[in-house]
Amino acid sequence: MSTVTKPLQLEHLDSRIKSVWQRSQMLHLASGLLRLGRWVGLMFIVAAGIDWLIDIPAVGRGAVLIALLSISLYAAWKCGWRNLRGFDATRTALRLESHHGGLESLLVSAVQLRDKQTVAGTSESMREKTLFQANEAAEKLRADEAVPFGVLSRPVAIVLLLCGSIGVFGAVNGPFLTAGLSRIFAPWLAVQYPTYTQLDVAYGDLVVKQGTSVQIKVRVSGVVPDTAKLLLRTGEGQPREIVLNIKDDVCEYTIATTSRDFTYQIEAGDARSAVNTVRVISGPQIENVRVELEFPTYLQRKTETVEALTLTVPERTSLKWEITLDRPVSEASFIRDGEQPVKLQLSKDGRRVVFTAMTSDSRGYSFSWIDKEHGFEFESSRYYLQVDADQSPQVELTSPSSNLIAMLGRPLELAVRAHDDHSIEAAKIAYRVNRRPDKFVDIPSAVANGSGAQVIDWDYRTAMSDLAIGDTVSFRVEVSDRYPSPDGPH
């Protein structure tokens, strides 16, 4: 059986245990802070020195800052902050006894017995005596001896030495220290270290149209040397070094034609400019093209679709272009040689144009685009539209091959060779006796197109039965298209 015992008031024991715990927490916290300050100071000095020598870019300085903070915080945690604990009277009592010695677990026993119930078979008087003795022993103990702050003297001296060194340097060259602090602890800022020579880049980062010229101009002040060095880099290759003369405190360099992105940097005296980027914007590229060809009616050909911009088409063919670009444009124009540009209707996304035109004659053509993002105007490659006009049929009398003197009543063979770019519709013979008007005789069987020499089934003796000796007869063969153009038959 157990009885509830009223806890005893142990002012000295509670006070000493509380003080020791508070001092130990302060010691761990201060130890971590001092270690943090030491590592931050040392790594800042090293990082600033390297940055000043090689001009670490913003991304690199960001990585340096992350490494600096990570290492410093880890050192602070390892050397102090990991020992921070919530209040635990038993653990603190053990620390007091381990420091002073000779207490033979008296303080720990008192802490454990004070708030516990009395167990049957134990002596209440012995419990009270133990608590009384622990309280009396605690009165003589000193928290500052159990947790001495003297161990911090060396870390404090190191941190003060670092801070003093940085402070002295700042007093001597404050702008340099300010620039170093800004570049390391705010790497996104474009801050340069102070130099005897100052550089003022006129244009800095640029966005230019492909094919245009770029002028790099830098004003040099302070201690002005005779020459400056221009470092040009395209892609990932090594920079190309160009020595520039400084005249009237200015150095200039002009790139006549730009074809791709590049970066540049100027070095003069002890000064070095930031790395400037020049973006070169090329013209929109045609990603997909479809041209629908609607032929004139007389050709009796079905509509065709081709994927080309240089074309050969029959005369009076109607063309419908559907063009898709690789990026949006704000304006598009169709330009035929010798004609004014025609503005084209764009789709909502600015990447597609659809338009129609009728062919009239052979001409070159191109497109004009205005880039939507930057407003640059570009002209596409030049294409050619070859128009094949409807040709007149070609006919050649192959027999007789020349003028001849014939005997009256003797047969005469007529043969022709005919060709047309489409087909032959009909043929007829035109003849004239002496100086009389021409007469025409239709040939019943059509002359085939492109079939070589063909004999014509026609007997002059039937058509000219009244011929007499001495008459002169001239004749010719005429053919016409099967599908005449709107201009009429040939």
For 107-132, write each residue's pLDDT tens digit: 555 565 565 554 455 556 665 655 56
Share of the chain above pLDDT 70, in %: 72
* pLDDT for the residue numbered 487: 47
Phi, psi (degrees; rounded to nearest 5) at 445: -95, 125
Whether 222 has a pLDDT exceeding 50, the answer reads yes
d(CA 39, CA 161): 13
pLDDT tens string 325-348: 999 999 999 999 988 999 999 999
Share of the chain above pLDDT 90, in %: 32
What average pLDDT does the chain have? 80
pLDDT tens string 419-428: 665 666 667 7
In terms of DSSP bridges, do strands 276-281 and 206-209 run parallel, antiparallel, or are they unpaired?
parallel
d(CA 374, CA 210): 12
* pLDDT for the residue numbered 123: 58
pLDDT tens string 137-159: 555 566 566 667 778 888 889 88
The single residue listed with the structure tokens 């032959």 is 424
Question: Which residues make Cβ contacts (< 8 Å) with residue 248, sequence separation at least 6?
Answer: none
The answer to whether 72 touches 36, Cβ cutoff 8 Å, is yes
The answer to whether 10 touches 110, Cβ cutoff 8 Å, is yes
The answer to whether 244 touches 228, Cβ cutoff 8 Å, is yes
- Write out the two tokens for 367: 């497109």
Tell me the average pLDDT across 262-283.
90
pLDDT tier for residue 489 given thresholds of 50, 70 and 90: very low
Whether 414 has a pLDDT exceeding 70, the answer reads yes
Tell me the average pLDDT across 70-83.
89
CA 348 vs CA 69, 82, 306: distances in Å? 50, 61, 25
pLDDT tier for residue 280 given thresholds of 50, 70 and 90: very high
* pLDDT for the residue numbered 367: 93
**DSSP label of 375:** -
Omega prior to 148 cis, within 30 of 0:
no
CA 224 vs CA 41, 55, 241, 245, 333: distances in Å? 35, 21, 19, 11, 51
For CA atoms 397, 400, 402, 406, give the dihedral sign: negative
d(CA 257, CA 259): 7
pLDDT tier for residue 454 given thresholds of 50, 70 and 90: confident
Indicate the range of 4-13, 78-87, 179-188, 292-301 predicted with least confidence.
4-13
First to last CA, the chain: 135
* pLDDT for the residue numbered 241: 92
* pLDDT for the residue numbered 129: 59
Q: Within a 10 A sphere around the Cβ of 380, how many other Cβ atoms?
A: 19
d(CA 343, CA 445): 53
* pLDDT for the residue numbered 425: 64
The answer to whether 100 touches 137, Cβ cutoff 8 Å, is no
pLDDT tier for residue 284 given thresholds of 50, 70 and 90: very high
* pLDDT for the residue numbered 155: 87
**DSSP label of 270:** T
Higher pLDDT, 362 or 22: 362
Whether 35 has a pLDDT exceeding 80, the answer reads yes
The answer to whether 273 touches 218, Cβ cutoff 8 Å, is yes
Residues constituting the chain: 490
Of the candidates 217, 175, 184, the one whose C-alpha atom is nearest the C-alpha of residue 199 is 217
Tell me the average pLDDT across 207-231.
92
Whether 436 has a pLDDT exceeding 50, the answer reads yes
pLDDT tier for residue 1 given thresholds of 50, 70 and 90: very low
The single residue listed with the structure tokens 């130990």 is 24
Helix (H) or strand (E) holding 330: strand 329-336
In terms of DSSP bridges, do strands 342-343 and 473-481 run parallel, antiparallel, or are they unpaired?
unpaired
pLDDT tier for residue 204 given thresholds of 50, 70 and 90: confident
The single residue listed with the structure tokens 């101009």 is 217
Whether 374 has a pLDDT exceeding 60, the answer reads yes
Tell me the average pLDDT across 384-390.
82
Question: Which residues make Cβ contacts (< 8 Å) with residue 449, sequence separation at least 6?
Answer: 418, 419, 420, 422, 423, 424
Tell me the average pLDDT across 244-271.
91
